[in-house]
Chain A
Amino acid sequence: MNVFRLLGDMSHLLAILILLLKMWKTRSCAGISGKTQILFALVFTTRYLDLFSSFISIYNTTMKLFFIASSYFTIFLMYSKFKATYDSNHDSFRMEFLVVPVGGLAFLVNHEFLPLEILWTFSIYLESVAILPQLFMVSKTGEAETITSHYLFALGSYRLLYIFNWVYRYYFDGFFDLIAVVAGCVQTILYCDFFYLYITKVLKGKKLSLPA
């Protein structure tokens, strides 16, 4: 563990807590893409299958359990409790356009052709594009609530911090995982446009609005 990975995990945790807080306080999931949340639940489910078979640390296990539980709880809130506030008209990104190609790629490009490894690879590739329905929804609605932009900033920062973690681990541990690094860079690049808007607008107290 290094400071970048710890900050990254905390940023990820913060993002999830911000989202839950937003939905709980406003009793609404307006502006949030349910499809992205479904993809995140799929990411965690396929990535943490070794939850019971390999023990790394208490921290690792509790974080995995929290990520899995919170992702399904978020889906429950969006599609059940606060269903009336779910904006399905603007959440129209076709998930199959992401899941199918990513599934195929995971079969073709992986470290080992084993079920657990292919599922882990699928999860890494899927996570890199899972935010697209959410970004697509923000671009369709043309704006996002300020708390939603904080959620996206924390979520985008987590994988950016992980990139620093991989640089650190490469030089200090000699650890390097090309698949995770490439997917992590793609994932972070997808946020660049949003990062720019967040820093130039939201941090100046303005609302996040995309040029129509």
Chain B
Amino acid sequence: KDSSAKKDEL
């Protein structure tokens, strides 16, 4: 759950 990954989705 690495949701903190950079928000690369639109």
Name A's B-contacting residues (CB within 8 A): 5, 9, 12, 50, 54, 56, 60, 63-64, 67, 111-112, 120, 162, 165, 174-180
If over half of A's interface residues share one DSSP class (helix, strand or loop), that class is named, otherwise mixed; here it is helix
Kindly state the separation between the CA atoms of A12 and B9 in the bound complex, as whole angstroms: 13
Q: A9-B10, A60-B8, A177-B1 are in contact. List 9 more A-B contacts (CB 8 A).
A: A54-B6, A60-B10, A64-B10, A67-B10, A111-B4, A162-B9, A178-B1, A179-B3, A180-B9
Give B1 Cβ to nearest chain A Cβ, in Å.
Answer: 5
Residues of chain A lying within 8 A (CB to CB) of residue B6: 54, 56
Give B5 Cβ to nearest chain A Cβ, in Å.
Answer: 6
Give A122 Cβ to nearest chain B Cβ, in Å.
Answer: 14
Residues of chain A lying within 8 A (CB to CB) of residue B4: 111-112
Is there contact, CB below 8 Å, between B2 and A5? Answer: no
Name B's A-contacting residues (CB within 8 A): 1-10
Interchain residue pairs A-B with the least CB separation, the first 4: A177-B3, A56-B8, A111-B3, A176-B1
Is there contact, CB below 8 Å, between A175 and B5? Answer: yes
- Among residues of B, the one whose C-beta sits closest to the C-beta of A59 is B10
- Among residues of A, the one whose C-beta sits closest to the C-beta of B8 is A56
* 18 pairs, CB–CB < 8 Å, chain A vs chain B: A5-B9, A54-B6, A56-B6, A60-B10, A67-B10, A111-B3, A111-B4, A112-B4, A120-B7, A162-B9, A165-B9, A175-B5, A176-B3, A177-B1, A177-B3, A178-B1, A180-B3, A180-B9
Residues of chain B lying within 8 A (CB to CB) of residue A177: 1, 3
Contact of A178 among B3, B7, B10 (CB under 8 A): B3
